Structure 1
């Protein structure tokens, strides 16, 4: 088991964590009608507090005046940083957020008139719950992975967080940032790779949009050996239930090193139609697989195929070590758990899904970022507990056009330990 420990240190490179990924909350200008009434407005009253994770919601009663423009809250979120939050006179609620800890904080509430005159302050005390960045930090788990380290973090409140990885630079002998993962997903799981199979010490800390920084979690792991599988050894292995090839796009194109067209294409439509459709091939050598990248048909002479047509949107990989035995692969409730075998001995290596288009634009529209995302291929990890396999079956469960009677792929690359 990986030895892990936590050390309460402030990372050396704090400047680097102020990243443009996090956009601070915009405060409206509240440019209302200019007033000549410079009378000091009355303050809010009957303030009620509802504490939340790293935040609090304050409700109040506004004074009876047509000259009020907004309510302003002023408060410290940590020992140094002061924030202001504003809420228009149309609302009786203001949200104060970004607090570094779960403790008492003073908040000053002012009403501000259209002549930009502040009322006397109303002081209240909030006690936010544990902020999301600290909650997430307390859930960090790591383990050795192929070529590096796997990181798992729970972000229960879906806060905007940065998971920052640091590593000891062998030249400078200083810890330096090696990866920054910004997300608001509730479950964070990713790997850092490219490391030799010798013990490596990593540190991880969590940041939020307000510049709060957690302690640092240190761990030492020994990366697992990983090698890209030798495509020169790959070959087709046709079984009776495999889909037939169409348009001259042969299965060998899946490992020719060309991520563009042509690739592999089934008949369109597959006849007689059997769906989900499968194809089978031999890697030529057994390996404990760690990950793979899949490339789909993109933009070629015949059109734009991004997130369209025969691109698989969900699929299952099946594998086995011994010579293949044909069968109609299980689907639905009959699918064995990952790592478990079908009736004829095909091991479920996992079901995977095509990532969504980053821009969210409807087809056939796309941005340059969408195109770059597509052309880079889509990478997925295999479960670390899977056994060695040599023969693979790709089972397409759904295609992008939802016709579910054909599919195509242009390239596959696998990594793992063949020893």
Structure 2
């Protein structure tokens, strides 16, 4: 009993000691609780749509980051943060030129902020405006071809609307690009006078005014793939190897690495002959690569030729050294990769480009001939693989018979 009283008394003393202690302010680990010194602004380099601020950070050991705070042209508060070992702030995303205040502050590990230093940036005109000004439109098969200049390689979208028969503006599609100098065809329109309306938008949501272009699309008939079939010919490779089927090249499905025509591994060139099932005059075609992890590598054609014939009468004896003998060369083509990265590395733009199908237009002379049979000769595959794979083939033109 006596021992129990002693323990209770000891416990009461401990409680009183704890209650009697005053709370102490604890600063973050490594922080002495003193605000860091001010940032020294060295220079401001104004660029299209933004600016780069170069500075000298304070020398405080507990410095954590540098912050640049500003309001954009719409009065929206924004900030850019860089670590303590970086000496530049990149302020981006302005849609309009002008003068804007940026408050630059140093922050330490205890969230103590230095005195803000204000500097003025004067972003140059955003790239979207020059891109819109550079746009030119030309009559094209089934639509309009838009050429543009984008020297800063800004990530933008070209957005297309049309005026319908009731006079309403109807949005149709967007094309995403970062190419410096290129063109894109908006297709799928009837061969009647059409008003196309286009504007440019960047990745921050800044938009240009619109530009109106008028043209009459050229006739462009999609060839029914239900008539397509393999035409076995001497020297042709089978595109139905390793469980794949040549018919998958015109089944209306692509972007999956498991849906394609696939040859055996043999030395190139590889050739394929297709019976279109109709006599046509060809305008253009799309080759969709085998997608998934195989995009822009493996056996996807990089450089290839297209030949054509109206019939197979009086063909010379096949010679491996001259696979086009007796055939009319319709064109030699090379696949394009927007990012320019080596095989195995793809960007979102690469995937979008191929998911839309890579569009190849036959030259004017080739468009004059009656064609019923197509011979594709793959000369070089991406990544130099000794194999050929094709996700999908589509052709457009006019029906002769």
TM-score when normalising by structure 2: 0.69
Matched positions, count = 356
Change in CA separation of 1:152 and 1:295 when aligned onto 2, cut-off 3 Å: same
Residue in structure 2 matched with residue 415 of structure 1 by the alignment? 396
SS of aligned partner of 1:346: strand
| Structure 1 residues 256-314: Cα deviation after superposition (integer angstroms, max 9, x where no partner) | 75869998665x466xx6x3122334434131322235576x9xxxxx99669985433
More helix by share: 2
| Structure 1 residues 61-85: Cα deviation after superposition (integer angstroms, max 9, x where no partner) | 2334345433222223324333211
1:60 aligns with 2:43: no
| Structure 1 residues 206-234: Cα deviation after superposition (integer angstroms, max 9, x where no partner) | 22233321121111221221212245665
1:382 aligns with 2:375: no
1:228 aligns with 2:222: yes
| Structure 1 residues 312-367: Cα deviation after superposition (integer angstroms, max 9, x where no partner) | 43352323456676666789xxxxxxxxx9997423152336999xxx989xxxxx
Change in CA separation of 1:398 and 1:355 when aligned onto 2, cut-off 3 Å: farther
Change in CA separation of 1:316 and 1:402 when aligned onto 2, cut-off 3 Å: closer
Residue in structure 1 matched with residue 377 of structure 2 by the alignment? 395
| Structure 1 residues 361-411: Cα deviation after superposition (integer angstroms, max 9, x where no partner) | 89xxxxxx9xx99xx97723222644324142211234579552x545576
CA-atom RMSD in angstroms:
4.7
Residue in structure 2 matched with residue 91 of structure 1 by the alignment? 86
SS of aligned partner of 2:134: coil
Q: Per-residue deviation at 1:241?
A: 4.5
| Structure 1 residues 140-166: Cα deviation after superposition (integer angstroms, max 9, x where no partner) | 233233222233333332323222222
Separation (CA, whole Å) in 2 of partners of 1:67 and 1:249: 62
Separation (CA, whole Å) in 2 of partners of 1:395 and 1:216: 43
Change in CA separation of 1:418 and 1:162 when aligned onto 2, cut-off 3 Å: same
* Consecutive unaligned residues in structure 1, runs of 5 or more: 1-30, 299-303, 332-340, 363-368
SS of aligned partner of 1:133: helix
Q: Per-residue deviation at 1:114?
A: 4.4
Separation (CA, whole Å) in 1 of partners of 2:99 and 2:220: 50
| Structure 1 residues 113-137: Cα deviation after superposition (integer angstroms, max 9, x where no partner) | 4454444432323233332323332
Change in CA separation of 1:64 and 1:231 when aligned onto 2, cut-off 3 Å: closer
Change in CA separation of 1:253 and 1:112 when aligned onto 2, cut-off 3 Å: closer
Separation (CA, whole Å) in 1 of partners of 2:289 and 2:275: 19
Separation (CA, whole Å) in 1 of partners of 2:225 and 2:139: 26
Q: Which protein has the larger Cα radius of gyration, Structure 1 or Structure 2? A: 2
Separation (CA, whole Å) in 2 of partners of 1:45 and 1:377: 49
Change in CA separation of 1:127 and 1:281 when aligned onto 2, cut-off 3 Å: same
1:209 aligns with 2:203: yes
Spell out the pairing of 1:237-386 with structure 2 (5 A cutoff). 240-243=234-237, 253=247, 257=251, 268=264, 275-283=268-276, 284-294=278-288, 311-320=299-308, 345-352=328-335, 379-383=357-361, 385-386=363-364
1:127 aligns with 2:112: no
After superposing the two structures, state which structure 1 stretch, 199-208 or 179-188, moved more: 179-188
Residue in structure 1 matched with residue 33 of structure 2 by the alignment? 37
Change in CA separation of 1:93 and 1:342 when aligned onto 2, cut-off 3 Å: farther
Separation (CA, whole Å) in 1 of partners of 2:392 and 2:203: 39
SS of aligned partner of 1:135: helix
Change in CA separation of 1:394 and 1:384 when aligned onto 2, cut-off 3 Å: closer
| Structure 1 residues 5-46: Cα deviation after superposition (integer angstroms, max 9, x where no partner) | xxxxxxxxxxxxxxxxxxxxxxxxxx974856355x542224
* Consecutive unaligned residues in structure 2, runs of 5 or more: 1-26
Q: Is the 8 A contact 2:66 2:82 kept in 1?
A: yes
TM-score when normalising by structure 1: 0.66
SS of aligned partner of 2:284: strand
SS of aligned partner of 1:136: helix
